[in-house]
């Protein structure tokens, strides 16, 4: 099983046989189990400029809740408490 990190704006990959691999919110494609697909992803990435990278981390990624500023609509990281744009207090994003 392999994981890949895709560039921003990439929502996933579609293989020639029609198999789709969707990227999660953090830009990772998980559970690529077919060795033939792994080979083609890595080969095409190296030919095309290396924009897709094989993930080498040994810890699972966590999607932490983000924060947002109600006044200026700025969306920040989960650890930010004060908006860098207007200085107002950031609120936690509620998950549904």
R_g of the chain computed on alpha carbons = 17
Does 55 or 88 have the greater pLDDT score? 88
For the chain, domain boundaries: 2-54, 64-96
- Separation between Cα atoms, residue 25 and residue 45, nearest integer Å: 21
Residue 63: the pLDDT is 53
The beta-strand segments (E) located in the chain are 2-5, 12-14, 20-22, 28-32, 53-54, 67-68, 75-76, 91-92
The pLDDT confidence band at residue 57, using thresholds 50, 70 and 90, is: low
Closest CA to 74 of 56, 62, 88: 88
Mean pLDDT over all residues of the chain?
80
The pLDDT confidence band at residue 8, using thresholds 50, 70 and 90, is: confident
């Amino acid at each position: 099983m392999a994981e890949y990190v895709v560039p921003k704006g990439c929502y996933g990959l579609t293989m020639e046989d029609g198999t789709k691999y969707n990227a999660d919110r953090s830009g990772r494609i998980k559970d690529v189990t077919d060795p033939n697909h792994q080979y083609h992803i890595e080969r095409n990435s190296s030919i095309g400029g290396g924009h897709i990278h094989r993930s080498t981390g040994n810890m699972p990624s966590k999607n932490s809740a983000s924060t947002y500023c109600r006044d200026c609509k700025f969306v920040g990281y989960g650890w930010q408490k004060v908006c860098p744009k207007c200085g107002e207090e950031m609120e936690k994003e509620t998950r549904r």
